[in-house]
Chain A
Amino acid sequence: MGDIQFEIDGKTVTADQGMTVLEAAQKEGIYIPTLCHHEKLEPFGGCRLCIVEVEDRGWTKYVVSCVFPAANGIIVRTRSEKVDRLRKTIIELLMAHAPDAPDLLKLAREYGADPDRYERDPSFCIHCGLCVRYCAEVAGKHAVGFVDRGINKEISFVPEIAAKECNDCKECFPLCPTSYLQAAFVYTQALSFPDAVKTGQSAGK
């Protein structure tokens, strides 16, 4: 228990082997903003918002705390001029996709981010994977997944599974940091137009 000792924002903290910096911070009540982290889910490192400064043997680097393992003797700074600047840009990038997300609007105010810095491409999904991972890891239904890649990446419900499972569950909806209407929308779309789902083969026989 607590065999790792290091420092976060000047405070000495302990962590167990295998804990991430974020987990150690949360245990101590030290706040690091997150969007794709969920205590019931495996670390994902998708949103990058939890980025922190880590000083390790004289070297300073920037790491995402939700996947970075706690280590002896490191010095973590959850806020610094550079961390704030990085977070500001990350928020601005995410806001191009989800300009009206309440969580992001709040973060934007805190970090002085300009929601319109990047051209809007409101897909409403910031690829945090919470819905996808929750459905796979906790619900165990695998009804929703990602399709495509890069800027075209989207969530997609498998109509056959969704029709059976989702109505009684819908636990992923409120997890969405942008607004759970997004998952609800894609879900409805999958049920209403099962053939038009992006991966469904409308041309198939």
Chain B
Amino acid sequence: MEIEKIDQIIDRHNGEASNLLQIMLDIQKENNWLSKQALARVSEKLSVPLTRIQHIATFYKAFSLVPKGRHKVHICVGTACHVRGATRILDTVEDATGIKPGETDLDLKFSLETVNCLGCCALGPVMEVDGKVHGKMSPVKTARTLKIYE
């Protein structure tokens, strides 16, 4: 992420240290992760020690300190989805993408996570991609769905 873009985000928040969290969230959102360079820039511009920024960046799950894929795949492994075959869905995704939960592929296309219940158990097993819910998944349907994403 270019320095100018980070500076823009910081300026949008008037460069105030009290907006640190929001600035970090915005960088995370635009860039999909927080690079060390980005954090160093924020630290410098806001005069907040890097140690403090690192503590925050590692505290909240919303932040990632490694690059994330363009598409975020969440496989529900909650109880309802589990009994309806979430394991097979997860296996299919792992096979198709070559990554395990918590990982990102080398092309930065997909990041995979598991979640415990997305709140729509009747649709189980459920896969969520970039916030869009795909319900009543089968291995075949899962593989087909993943192909839509570039």
Please give the number of chain B residues whose Cβ is less than 8 angstroms from any Cβ of chain A in the complex.
16
Number of CB contacts from chain A to chain B under 8 A? 52
The answer to the question of A54 belonging to the interface, with a C-beta cut-off of 8 Å to chain B, is no
Given A201-B66, A203-B66, A203-B67, residue A149 in contact with residue B52 (CB < 8 A): no
Nearest CB of A to B22, in Å: 20
List A contacts of B66 (CB < 8 A): 201, 203-204
Interface residues of A in 155-205 (CB under 8 A from B): 156, 158, 161, 198-201, 203-205
The answer to the question of B36 belonging to the interface, with a C-beta cut-off of 8 Å to chain A, is yes
Distance, CA A158 to CA B50, complexed state (A): 8
What 1/0 flags go to B24-66 for Cβ under 8 Å of A?
A: 0000000001011100000000000111101101110000011
Distance, CA A166 to CA B63, complexed state (A): 29
List B contacts of A146 (CB < 8 A): 51, 55
Interface residues of A in 136-150 (CB under 8 A from B): 136, 142-149
Q: Is the CB of B50 within 8 A of A142?
A: yes
Q: Is the CB of B51 within 8 A of A198?
A: no
Distance, CA A97 to CA B65, complexed state (A): 27
Q: Is the CB of B54 within 8 A of A199?
A: yes
List B contacts of A156 (CB < 8 A): 51, 54
Mark A residues whose CB is within 8 Å of B.
132, 135-136, 142-149, 156, 158, 161, 198-201, 203-205
29 pairs, A vs B, C-beta closer than 8 Å: A132-B51, A135-B51, A136-B51, A142-B50, A142-B51, A142-B52, A143-B51, A145-B49, A145-B51, A145-B52, A146-B51, A146-B55, A147-B55, A148-B59, A149-B58, A156-B51, A156-B54, A158-B50, A158-B54, A161-B50, A198-B58, A199-B54, A199-B57, A199-B58, A200-B36, A201-B33, A201-B67, A203-B67, A204-B66
